[in-house]
Structure 1
C-alpha cells in the first residue's frame, strides 16, 4: 500500500516527466481523436474542389479514419497489457507521424484516404494506452481527478480544433492542418521517450496473444453488457453524421465563411461539455429507465426541428444540433456507469468493445450523412430523428426483456 501511495505522489517514478508532466502527457494523448477529426473540417469543401471529388468520397477521410481507429483499439489494447504502454504508444506515434506527413503530401484523394486510415491505426495505439496509464498510476479520488481533467480537455478540443483549422486556412491550404497534426504527434513521441513505463513486469499478461484477444469474445457474450452497449453506441450515428457534414451545411448550404463555421461548431461543443455537470446536478438520482427515454426523445425532437425549421437559419439549425449533442453528453456518465456495472473484471476488453461500438456506429453515421440527400439539412434531421426513434424502441424492448441490467432493472 505504501508503495502505491509513493508511486502516485512521485508520478509513478517519472524522473523526466514528473507527476505534472505525466498528466500533461495523458491529456495530450486524449486530444488526438478530436484533433484528428475536427482540425481539418473547415477545409473539407475546398478539398472537394482541389481533388475534384464529391462530398461522399472526401468524407471517407473521416469515416475510414474512424473505422481503422476502431480496429486499432482492438489490436493495440491487449498488446499494451502484454508488452507495456510505452512501446505501444511509440509504435502508434511513429505510424501517426508518418501517415500525417503522407496526408499533407497527398497527390490524390485516394492516397489521402489511405493515409487517413493509417492515421486511425496509429491513433488507436496512442489512445488505447492512455487510459491504462491512468489506471497504472492513480487510484480513488486521485484517479477521479485525473479522469475529470482529461475528459474536460477532450471536450475543449473539438471546440478549439475547427477554429484553429479555419485560421490555418488564412495562411495556407488544407495541407497545413496535417502538418500541424504531424508536429503534435512528434511532440507526443518526444514525451513518450521521456515517459517511464508504468506497467510493472509482474502485472503484465503472461498468456498468448490469442488468449488475451479471446477475452473480447467473453465480454461480448454478456447480454446484460453488449445489448445496452450497442443501444447507447447507436447514438453516435447521428452525432458523427453531423460531424461529417457540418462544414457543408454551414459553408455551402448557409453560405458562411470557414471562420464563421468554426464559431458555430465551437458554440455547440462549448455547450455540449456541460452535459456531464448537468447530469450530476439534476439527473443523478433520476429514474434511469425514464432518463434514457427522455434523452432519446429530446434527440428525436431535435431531428424534427432540424428537418422542419433548420433550413431557415443557421441559428435555428444550431439550436437543433445543441439539443441533440447536449442530450448525448448528459447520458454519457449514466450510460458508461451502467455498462461498467454489467461486467465484473476484463476492464480492458470491456473498454475496447465500448469504444469500438461507438466508433463503428459513428463511421456508419458519417457514411449515411454523406449520401446525396438532395437537401443536406433535411437529410441530417431525418437521420437524427429516425436514429433516436430506433434507440427508444430498442431501449423499451430491452427493458421489457428478461435480461438483467444491474443499476436499472433492479432499482425500479
Structure 2
C-alpha cells in the first residue's frame, strides 16, 4: 500500500510552519520581557526562567511525541499537540503569578514540540538521501521565516498592546495551524508503525542512543545550537540595554540575523553532505572566536551585527546537514530519532540560557558562544573521521 502525499508546496508550508512554531513561540514574546517583568513585579532572571522552562518543554515533549507518532501515526500526534497548545496559551494569558506563568510556558513548550518532531518525521517518511536533504533545506528556509517575523511582529504588537496581546496573537496562530493540519494526509502507514505496546515503542531509544555515528551528528548539532540559544537569551538585553535600541530596532536586528540561517541552509545544498558539515563546522568555530572577541572588547553595534549574521549563516549550513545525515541512518525509527535530535538541542538551550545572565552579560555570552562552537567543531570532525573509517 502506497502512502498518499499532500502536494510538495503544502508539505513545505505546513511542515515549515509546524517546525518553526515552537521556536516562533519563544522568539515572539522576547520584546515583551521588560513588560512581563513590570507586570509581575519580578526580576529579569525570573522572566528568563520562563524562556528556560519553554525550552525544556520543547525538548522533553519531543521524547514523548516522537515515539507516540511512531506508534499511532503523525497526524494524531500533531493535532493533539496543537489542542494542548491552545489550552496552555489561554492559561498563560490569565496567569496570576510569574510562577504559574513559568509552569504554563513549560506546558506550552511541550505542545510546541509536536510540530518540531513530527515535521522531521514526516519528511523522513516521504523522502530519502539527497531528496531528504533538499526538503530539509527548503524546510529551513520556511522555518527561517519564523525567527525573522516573530520578534518584528512581537515588537509591533507590544507597541500597541501589552504582553497578553502577544499571547492572544499566538492563540490565533494556533487555531490557524490546527485547521491547516486537518487536511494533512497520514505519512506513516499502519503496517510501518511501531509494534507492541507503547512502552516497547519507548525502548527504541536504547539502540538509537547506542548508534555512535547518529549520536555524533546529533551532538554536533546540539552544541552548535548552544550558540543560538545563548544568543537568543541574551539578545534582548544586549541590543536594548547595552546598545540602547528600542523594541522595533531590536526586532529588526534579530530578523536580519535570522536571514543568515536561511542563507546557510541554501548554501548547504551546493555541496555533498560531508563537505557541507566540514564547511559549517569550521566556519562556526572561526566566526565564534571572532564574535566572542567582539563581545569581550565591547565592539560597536555594526561590527557585532555583521559577526552575528555570519555566524548564523554557518549555523544554517550545519542544521539541515546534520539532520539529514542523522535521520538517514535511523530511518526505521524516525519518530524516536527525530525526538532525540530535537530534545538534545533544546536541553542544551535550557542549560545555556540561564548561563548568559550570570555576571557581565557580554562576557558570559562570549564564553558560551566560544565553548559551544569549539565543542561543535570537535564532534563534527570526529563524526567525519568515523564516517570515513566505516566506508573503508
Instruction: Report the equivalent of 2:386.
Output: 405
Instruction: Report the equivalent of 2:178.
Output: 189
Larger Rg: 1
1:260–1:151 CA distance, 2 compared to 1 (3 A): same
- 1:149-198 per-residue CA deviation (whole Å, 9 max, x = no partner) reads 43211011101110000110121011111111111111222233444544
Contact 2:70–2:333, Cα closer than 8 Å, also in 1: no
Question: What is the CA–CA distance in structure 2 between the aligned matches of 1:393 and 1:363, rounded to whole Å?
Answer: 22
Contact 2:82–2:111, Cα closer than 8 Å, also in 1: yes
Question: What is the CA–CA distance in structure 2 between the aligned matches of 1:149 and 1:199, rounded to whole Å?
Answer: 21
Is 2:344 the partner of 1:357?
Answer: yes
Is 2:364 the partner of 1:383?
Answer: no
Using structure 1 for the length normalisation, give the TM-score.
0.85
Contact 2:66–2:335, Cα closer than 8 Å, also in 1: yes
SS of residue paired to 1:380: helix
Shift of 1:315: 1.8
Is 2:103 the partner of 1:111?
Answer: no
Question: What is the CA–CA distance in structure 2 between the aligned matches of 1:157 and 1:122, rounded to whole Å?
Answer: 17
Shift of 1:82: 1.6
Gaps spanning 5+ residues in structure 1: where? 12-17
Is 2:250 the partner of 1:261?
Answer: yes
Question: What is the CA–CA distance in structure 2 between the aligned matches of 1:85 and 1:211, rounded to whole Å?
Answer: 18
Contact 2:57–2:109, Cα closer than 8 Å, also in 1: yes
Contact 1:297–1:392, Cα closer than 8 Å, also in 2: no
Using structure 2 for the length normalisation, give the TM-score.
0.89
Shift of 1:204: 2.4
Question: What is the CA–CA distance in structure 2 between the aligned matches of 1:21 and 1:29, rounded to whole Å?
Answer: 12
Between the two proteins, the alignment pairs up a number of residues equal to: 392
Contact 1:104–1:178, Cα closer than 8 Å, also in 2: yes
Relative contact order: is structure 1 or structure 2 higher (C-alpha 8 Å, sep ≥ 6)? 2
SS of residue paired to 1:123: helix
SS of residue paired to 1:43: helix
Question: What is the CA–CA distance in structure 2 between the aligned matches of 1:235 and 1:136, rounded to whole Å?
Answer: 26
Shift of 1:282: 6.6
Question: What is the CA–CA distance in structure 1 between the aligned matches of 2:278 and 2:134, rounded to whole Å?
Answer: 28
Contact 2:118–2:335, Cα closer than 8 Å, also in 1: no
Instruction: Report the equivalent of 1:15.
Output: none
Instruction: Note the aligned Cα RMSD (angstroms).
Output: 2.9
Q: 2:215 aligns with which of 197, 220, 226?
A: 226
Question: What is the CA–CA distance in structure 2 between the aligned matches of 1:290 and 1:317, rounded to whole Å?
Answer: 22
Contact 2:54–2:107, Cα closer than 8 Å, also in 1: yes
Structure 1 residues 133-142 or 314-323, which shifts more? 133-142
Contact 1:68–1:121, Cα closer than 8 Å, also in 2: yes
Question: What is the CA–CA distance in structure 2 between the aligned matches of 1:357 and 1:204, rounded to whole Å?
Answer: 24
Contact 1:45–1:248, Cα closer than 8 Å, also in 2: no
Shift of 1:133: 3.3
Structure 1 residues 156-165 or 286-295, which shifts more? 286-295
Shift of 1:405: 1.9
Question: What is the CA–CA distance in structure 1 between the aligned matches of 2:126 and 2:391, rounded to whole Å?
Answer: 33
Contact 1:241–1:365, Cα closer than 8 Å, also in 2: yes
